[in-house]
Structure 1
Amino acid sequence: MDDRVPRPPAATLADVAAAAGVGESTVSRVLRSHGSFSPKTRERVMAAAARLGYVPNRIAGTLASSGSKLVGIVIPSLANIVFPDVLRGASQSLEADGYQPVIAVSEYDPLREEQSIAAMLAWRPAALMVAGLEHTAQARALMASSGTRIIELMDLDGPSIHLAVGYSNLEVGRASARHLLARGYRRIAYVGHDLAADTRAAKRLAGFEQVLREQGLALQDRETVAAPTSVEAGQAGLERVLARAKGVEAVYFSNDDMAFGGYFLCLSRGIVLPEKLALFGFNGLAIGRVLPQPLSTIRTPRVEIGAAAARLAVAPFTCDPPPDPRLDLGFELVPGGTA
């Protein structure tokens, strides 16, 4: 015996047309806001659709019109505000243009990202936005041959498939190192999260170390946690560095979350910032500006990146002038009070 609850039949376009006393083509025009119909007709159709709980079949509409209103977005994490900020900028812009964002989260797993990209492309979206430039070979092949506009986000250090919007992570690392060196720090350590998973953090560290080498210096110590970024990981990482490396003057963190952990460790131990130890982060999160000593960091234009990528996603393919394939929105160094 089948004890499953039967699924009620979904309301159809024909049901709405019958309830509103109009033809199906009129209902279609009203729901798509396309073509001619009177305000009274629209009111009747919308009231009937609401009463019946009608949900338009967007996939069927896409097949009929050869034009999807979906834009896929694949991001690595929702663990902090960074990628939600990107989504906020993208979704506001897309919805204003009548497009619907569809979101997947890879948790920094390349194979999971590949699966999400394949699933998104199967829906034939108008465009696909993906964080970063590094993907599996299969994911790159899928995107390159999909016929879908691809916009890669948050990185410009490497070849892009179609379009890229963001900033240079290498240059972020270089600017961070120059700031610390200009403040007189020479014995510098690094605390970060999983660099194999987060290739953008690895690029920032590479840029940072490049500037140190140019000055005949090297990191005094390096602690990377084989786990996602978190305040707890930053606290534990700095604790291990301080136990190993004596005389460290400054610590460069992979991002603000990790730096906040270091900040709280210093508070608990009575380590005076920045006189006894300087801390420098990345992302420019809002909480860093309201700490008793604002965090020294790099602020990135995350909302603007999402909005700019969304505009590129829905721009006509034949627009004049054509979009710049690499849109650099830059970053801002925030001196703060910890370095």
Structure 2
Amino acid sequence: MLRNAPTLADVARLAGVSEITVSRVVRNKGPIAAGTRARVHEAIVKLGYVPNRAAGALASAASPLIGVLLPSLSNIVFPEVLRGIHTALAPTGYQPLIGVTDYDPLKEQHLLSSLLAWQPAAIITTGFEHTDASRQMLSNSRIRVAELMDIDAEPIDIAVGLSQRGAGFDTARHLISRNYRRFGYVGHDWNADHRARLRYEGLRGALAEAGLELKAEERFDGPSSTMAGRETLAALLSQKPDLDVVVFSNDDMAVGGFFHCLGAGIRVGQDLGLFGFNGLDIGQALPLPLSTIRSNRFAIGRIAVEKLMESSRRPEEKLVVDTGYQIIAGATA
């Protein structure tokens, strides 16, 4: 059952202070003892309280704002999601308020608190990896919530995306069907990109089911990039040069791996297979089109908005929309 959002009075009772004191702390107005301020902030976090700064026309389900939190706008994946969101919102009269979290759950929490203070009609966020405070704020709010890109966990309201584990599993099955047996893996920071780890787990699961395993793996301690892919594949092959295929955490990394092979005289698709994830244009523009999985990013953003717009009230039953993915055979594996 949905709970009512916590009020300023609830915070005051929990902190043992007056509502006026809570209001002053929230607005950062007037002298407040450090201990009192700390108790109020602790109560705010514990309750998931969000102050209402709209104070009028926006303080209702009629608000024309949709909060959108994305982990990055430099990664081409998320501008495509945003394009889908924009396309679906264009005829509705709603306007997006966009925040970029840089894959940081605490930054997401701060941005979420700021967005919710304006009482948007809905919140669109990415994945299920929220802080406890963020999850409580989202759960306590009466507004619609869409979590994008992943469907491998239970959503707060709506999840729209693909099974990341399934994509990893199907990657291995596809490559096994093409007679690859000596698998390597090149990845990037799992703390920042939990979905890459889910694909890795799916990959290993399918290999184990076939009586196989990863012969070697190497991860770059940072975000994905073509340079990281190039350097990390070089490190992997220095320790295990007899691999016949390498699976990369995404296309950025795989394109970098392709460039390493060009420089090292490794014949891609013959001496070594390369496989990515995302289906980016840059991978398909290589001299040998990248073998990869294409995610339906535009559709994820568009469908999320369409489902949110079906009702302004959050239903009791949660919704999961699987947008699927396609294996691109390419020419590198």
- What secondary structure does 1:68 align onto? coil
Structure 1: which 5+ residue stretches go unaligned? 1-57
- Conserved? CA contact 2:59–2:119, under 8 Å: no
Give the deviation of 1:96 after TM superposition.
1.6
CA separation in 2, counterparts of 1:62 and 1:204?
44
Q: Note closer, same or farther for the CA distance 1:248–1:64 as it changes in structure 2 (3 Å cut).
A: closer
CA contact (8 A) 2:143 2:313 kept: no
Q: What residue number does 2:154 align with?
A: 159
* Secondary structure of residue in 1 paired with 2:287: coil
Identity value in percent: 47
Deviations 1:236-279 (A, max 9, x none): 11000011112111100000000000011111122111110000
Q: Provide the residue aligned with 1:337 in structure 2.
A: 331
1:65, distance to aligned residue in structure 2 (A): 6.3
Is the Cα–Cα contact under 8 Å of residues 126 and 314 in structure 1 kept in the other structure? no
What's the offset of the Cα at 1:63? 3.9
Q: Distance in 1 between matches of 2:320 and 2:61?
A: 28
Question: What amino acid does structure 2 have at the position aligned with 1:150?
Answer: V
Give the structure 1 partner of residue 119 of structure 2. Answer: 124
Matched, 1:313 2:316: no
Structure 2 counterpart of 1:175, one-letter code: D
Query: What is the deviation of 1:324?
Result: 6.8
User: How far apart, in 2, do the equivalents of 1:262 and 1:110 lie?
Assistant: 30
Q: Give the match's secondary structure for 1:62.
A: coil
Q: Does 1:249 align with 2:244?
A: yes
1:233-244 alignment, distance < 5 Å: 233-244=228-239
Q: 316, 327, 331: which is aligned to 2:321?
A: 327
Q: Which amino acid aligns with 2:175?
A: L
Q: In structure 1, the residue corresponding to 2:207 is in which secondary structure?
A: helix
TM-score normalised over the length of structure 2:
0.81
Deviation at 1:91, TM superposition (A): 1.1
- TM score, norm. by length of structure 1: 0.79
Structure 2 unaligned residues grouped into runs of 5+: 1-52
CA offset at residue 66 of structure 1? 5.2
Given the superposition, is the C-alpha separation of residues 101 and 64 from structure 1 closer, same or farther in structure 2, using an over 3 Å criterion? closer
Q: How large is the Cα RMSD of the aligned pairs?
A: 1.9
Q: 1:322 to 1:92 in 2, by over 3 A?
A: farther
Counterpart amino acid of residue 189 in structure 1: G
Q: Distance in 2 between matches of 1:139 and 1:64?
A: 20
Name the residue aligned to 1:103: 98
Instruction: Tell me, in whole angstroms, the C-alpha distance in 1 between the residues paired with 2:240 and 2:297.
Output: 35
Change (3 A) 1:66 1:335: closer
Deviation at 1:289, TM superposition (A): 1.6
Q: Relative to 1, partners in 2 of residues 1:65 and 1:252: Cα closer, same or farther, differing over 3 Å? A: closer
Question: 2:192 aligned with 1:169, yes or no?
Answer: no
Q: From 181, 188, 191, give the equivalent of 1:186.
A: 181
Matched residue, 1:228 = 223
Amino acid at match of 2:112: I
Alignment of 1:43-54 (within 5 A): none
Larger radius of gyration: 1
